[in-house]
Structure 1
Amino acid sequence: MTNPLTGTQGMLRAMNGRAILDALARRGPLTRAELMNETGLSRTAVTQVLRSLESRGGIVPAGVDRATQGPAATRVTLNPRLGYAAAVHIDHHDAHAALVDATGAVRAEAHAPLSAAYDRLDVVTALIEECTGGVAPVHTAVVAVPGIVTRDGAIRDDHGPDGGIFRTALAERIGCPVRVENDVNLAALAELSGPYGLERSSFTLLLLDAGLGAASVLDGILHRGAGGIAGEVQYLPQTPLPLGAPVVGDAVTSDLALDAGRDPGISLLAHLEAAADGDAAALSIVTEIARRITVIAGTITLVIDPGAFVLGGLAAHPVMFDAIQAEAEAWADRLPLRFDASAFGREAPLVGAVHEAAAELRSILFTRILSPDSRKS
C-alpha cells in the first residue's frame, strides 16, 4: 500500500470550497441542503466548508428559507464586501462602464459621450470612479475597444499603435490589473456564454457599427489569431474595389449614399430607418451593404466553415437582416449560409466584458479566500 500524497486533505478542502463558492456565484443564496444538491458533497463536508468560508469572510448569512417544509433553513451567499470588477466598452462615440460582483450581477453603471478630441483614459477612469463611488474596491477590469488588440494588450486603432500604454496607464489609475480586448471578440464571448452558446459551439459573429468586424468561435474557443488581427474582415478583397480598401463602414456608406442621391453625412442607421419607411434610394444602399456582408460571410465559410453567423450591431437591424437573408437565399444552392440575430444587440461587447470581468474576479477572490493564510480580519 502506498502512502497518501502530502497535502491531499488540504487539496480536498480547497476543491470542496471552490465547488461551494462556484455554486453560490452561479445560483445566488443557497441553503445547506441546496449546496449538497448542487455540489454532491455530504452534509458534514458542506458544514465544515461553510464554517471555514465564514471564518475567512468569504460568505455571510442571507436570510431564512421558509418556503420549504420542515424547519426553516438559513441561506448563505457570497460576501458582497469582497469587492468588484469593472467592465468597460469604448466605441467610436461613447464609453460605458459597469461595476460587477462575483455573481456577474451589475451593481452600478455609468455612461459618457466621447468627443472627437477625447482622452479615453480620463473618461474611463472617471466612469469607474462614478460606479464605485470612490469606496468599493475594484480587483480587476476588462475593457472592450475597437481595433486590433495584441496578446500583450497593445491597441492598434484610429489613434495608431499604443504599445500597451493605455492598459498600463489605466491599471495605474485604478490600482488593479486591466485586460484590454477587441470589442467584437467580447461580443462573441457574450453570445457563447448566452442562450446561443448552449446550441452551438462554433459560429462567427459579424458586428456592424462604424465598420464591420468578425469574431469566430470554433469548438467553444475564441480564435484571436497570432497577432490579434483575426476578424478584420472589412478589408477582405471584393471586386472591383482595390486591395486594402474597406468594403463596409462609415466611409463606404457615405460613398453609396452620394451615388444614390441621399445625404452622405447621415448615419447608416438613418438610411436603415428610411428604408424601413419605403425609401427606394435608402433601400438600394442597404441592399449593396447586405451584398458585401454576404460575400464576406461566404468567404469566411469557404475558409473555416463556422456553420452559422450571428449578426450584431446594425447588421441585426430588421431591414439589414432581411436584406442579408435575401442575398444569402440567392446563394443557397451553391453555398448555404445560416444567419441568426444577436441575443444582445448593440450591448453585446459590454455584456461580454461583464461576463469576462466576473470570471476573472471569481478567480482572484476565490484563490484569496481559499489560500491557507486567509483569515477574517
Structure 2
Amino acid sequence: MARPPARTPSTLRTPNAKAILEALARRGPLTRAQLMHQTGLSRGAVAPSLRSLESRDLIVSAGTASPSGEHAAKGPAAMRVALNPRLGFAVAVHLDHHDAHVALVDATGAVRAEAHAPLSAAYDRLDVITALIEECTGGVAPLHAAVVAAPGIVTRDGEIRDDSGPDGGAFRAALAERVGCPVRIENDVSLAALAELAGELGTQHSSFALLLLDGGLGAAFVLDGVLRRGASGMAGEVQYLPQTPLPLGAPVVGEVVTADLASGVGRDPSLPLLAHLEAAATGDPAAHSMISEIARRLTVVAGTVSLVIDPGIFVLAGLAAHPVMFDAIQHAAQAWEERLPLRFTTSAFGREAPLVGAVHEATVELQAALFSPDDRKH
C-alpha cells in the first residue's frame, strides 16, 4: 500500500477548501455545480480552491456525471471530483471476550482492509491488536485516529473497568504509543447505538434504547439524538437490574444463566445460546422453554428502562435480534400491552453493530483530524 500524500495545513486552514473537503466527505463525488449548492460558495470561490486541492493530491478526478441530475452543470457531461482515498487513514477495533477485529478506514468512510484474530488469556490483547493493525496498513500507512469498541464500563477519560478492575487508562495510553495516533475507547454497546443513530433508524427516531445480547446483556441510550453515557460511564449496565424471582445482584442473562436454564430443561449446558436458539427454531420444546424465559427477562428489563427514560423504541442487537428471540420478546411484551406498550425493532447491523459504530466514529475522528487540524489543538 502506497504512503498517503502529506497534508498541507495552510490549505486546510482555508475555509473554502475545508467546506469543499467536508462536502466531498459527506456526499461523495460531486461536480462543481453540486459543490456550489452543497457549500454555498460561488463559482469564483470553488474553482481556485479545487485547483489548489488538486495540486496537492487532496482530491482526485471521479469521472463524469449525467447533466440531468439535480444541480448538475449544463452541457453533455460534468466532471466530478472526490476526496483522495489516500488522504489519511484511521482504524476501528472491536474487542469482545473472544476475538479482536480491525478495520482500516479512509477519509471517505470506506473500509480499505480488515483483519481479525482470536483472543485468549495466553496472548496480550495489545500485541494482537497491533499485529492486526500492521496487517491492515502494511506497516507503511500512517494513522490519524483509532476508535476501539470494548466490553465493560468505559469512563469519559478512556479508563476500562472490567472483571480485572479499572485500568486507569493504561490500555488506551499503551495502544496510542504503539500505533502513533490518538486512541478513543468506547463501550461496545454504545458504539452499536451510534451505528444505529448514524443509520436509517436515526433519521426516524431521535430517542431509542439498544439492548445487545451476546456473552451478557448491555444497553445504550440515545435521547434527543445524543448518546447518554452517564457521569461515570455506567449508563446501560442493565445486566444486574433487579427482577423477581431472581435474588438481588443475580445476572439477568449471560453464559452462566444460559447453562443453568439448559440444565433445568435437560439440554446440554455447555452449548452456547445460539445453539439453543437454532434448536428452538426447529421446534425443540425444551429449547423453546429456555428462550421464552430469557425473552421474559429481557422484556422486564425493557419495561423497567421504559418507565425511567421512555426511549420510545428498543433496538435489539446481537443474539437479541435472532428471529426466534425477537418473536419470543414480542410475545412476552403482549402481556404488558395495555399497561405499558413496548415497541421493538432489530438492529440494521446484526452482530457487527459495534464494529460498524467504530468504523463510523473512526471516520468522524479522521475527518476532524484532516479538515480541522487547528481546532483539535485547542
TM-score between the two structures when normalised by the length of structure 1: 0.91
Q: Which residue of 2 aligns with 1:211?
A: 216
Unaligned runs of 5+ in 2: 1-9, 69-73
* 1:77 equivalent in alignment to 2:82: yes
Q: Aligned with 1:81: secondary structure?
A: coil
Checking the alignment, whether the CA contact within 8 Å between 2:210 and 2:316 is kept in structure 1 is yes
From 119, 123, 126, give the equivalent of 2:124: 119
Alignment of 1:360-371 (within 5 A): 360-368=365-373
Which range moved further: 111-120 or 303-312? 111-120
Q: Which residue of 2 aligns with 1:375?
A: none
Aligned-pair distance for 1:240?
2.3
Q: Quick one: distance in 2 between partners of 1:117 and 1:338? A: 43
Q: Quick one: distance in 2 between partners of 1:28 and 1:206? A: 32
Q: Quick one: distance in 1 between partners of 2:56 and 2:375? A: 8
- Which amino acid is 1:23 matched to? A
Alignment of 1:85-100 (within 5 A): 85-100=90-105
Checking the alignment, whether the CA contact within 8 Å between 2:259 and 2:270 is kept in structure 1 is yes
Checking the alignment, whether the CA contact within 8 Å between 2:63 and 2:81 is kept in structure 1 is yes
Q: Aligned with 2:181: secondary structure?
A: coil
Checking the alignment, whether the CA contact within 8 Å between 2:210 and 2:219 is kept in structure 1 is yes
* 1:340 equivalent in alignment to 2:345: yes
Checking the alignment, whether the CA contact within 8 Å between 2:85 and 2:108 is kept in structure 1 is no
Checking the alignment, whether the CA contact within 8 Å between 1:53 and 1:369 is kept in structure 2 is no
Q: Aligned with 2:227: secondary structure?
A: strand
Which range moved further: 193-202 or 37-46? 37-46
- Which amino acid is 1:94 matched to? D
- Which amino acid is 1:149 matched to? V
From 181, 192, 207, give the equivalent of 2:197: 192
TM-score between the two structures when normalised by the length of structure 2: 0.91
From 133, 153, 167, give the equivalent of 2:172: 167
Q: Which residue of 2 aligns with 1:132?
A: 137
Q: Which residue of 1 aligns with 2:317?
A: 312
Deviations 1:75-111 (A, max 9, x none): 2221223210000101111111000011111011111
Q: Aligned with 1:191: secondary structure?
A: helix
Aligned-pair distance for 1:369?
9.4
Which range moved further: 47-56 or 196-205? 47-56
Share of identical aligned residues, percent?
A: 75
Q: Aligned with 1:189: secondary structure?
A: helix
Q: Quick one: distance in 1 between partners of 2:272 and 2:144? A: 38
Checking the alignment, whether the CA contact within 8 Å between 1:58 and 1:369 is kept in structure 2 is no
Deviations 1:93-150 (A, max 9, x none): 1111000011111011111122243311111111111110111111100000010001
Q: Quick one: distance in 1 between partners of 2:375 and 2:319? A: 45
Q: Quick one: distance in 2 between partners of 1:288 and 1:38? A: 52
Q: Quick one: distance in 2 between partners of 1:66 and 1:306? A: 43
Which range moved further: 349-358 or 65-74? 65-74
Q: Aligned with 1:216: secondary structure?
A: strand
Checking the alignment, whether the CA contact within 8 Å between 1:275 and 1:283 is kept in structure 2 is yes
Distance 1:144 1:95, change over 3 A: same
Aligned-pair distance for 1:52?
3.2
Q: Aligned with 2:131: secondary structure?
A: helix
* 1:283 equivalent in alignment to 2:267: no
Unaligned runs of 5+ in 1: 1-9, 372-377
Q: Which residue of 1 aligns with 2:47?
A: 47
Checking the alignment, whether the CA contact within 8 Å between 1:56 and 1:369 is kept in structure 2 is no
C-alpha RMSD of matched pairs (Å): 2.1
Aligned-pair distance for 1:61?
2.9
- Which amino acid is 1:124 matched to? I
Q: Quick one: distance in 2 between partners of 1:57 and 1:125? A: 29
Q: When the two structures are aligned, how many residues end up with a matched partner?
A: 362
Q: Which residue of 2 aligns with 1:330?
A: 335
Q: Aligned with 2:100: secondary structure?
A: strand
Distance 1:66 1:230, change over 3 A: closer
Q: Which residue of 2 aligns with 1:321?
A: 326
Which range moved further: 229-238 or 78-87? 78-87
* 1:240 equivalent in alignment to 2:218: no
Checking the alignment, whether the CA contact within 8 Å between 2:209 and 2:313 is kept in structure 1 is yes
Q: Quick one: distance in 2 between partners of 1:100 and 1:235? A: 36
- Which amino acid is 1:39 matched to? T
Aligned-pair distance for 1:50?
1.5
From 360, 374, 378, give the equivalent of 1:355: 360
Distance 1:370 1:154, change over 3 A: closer
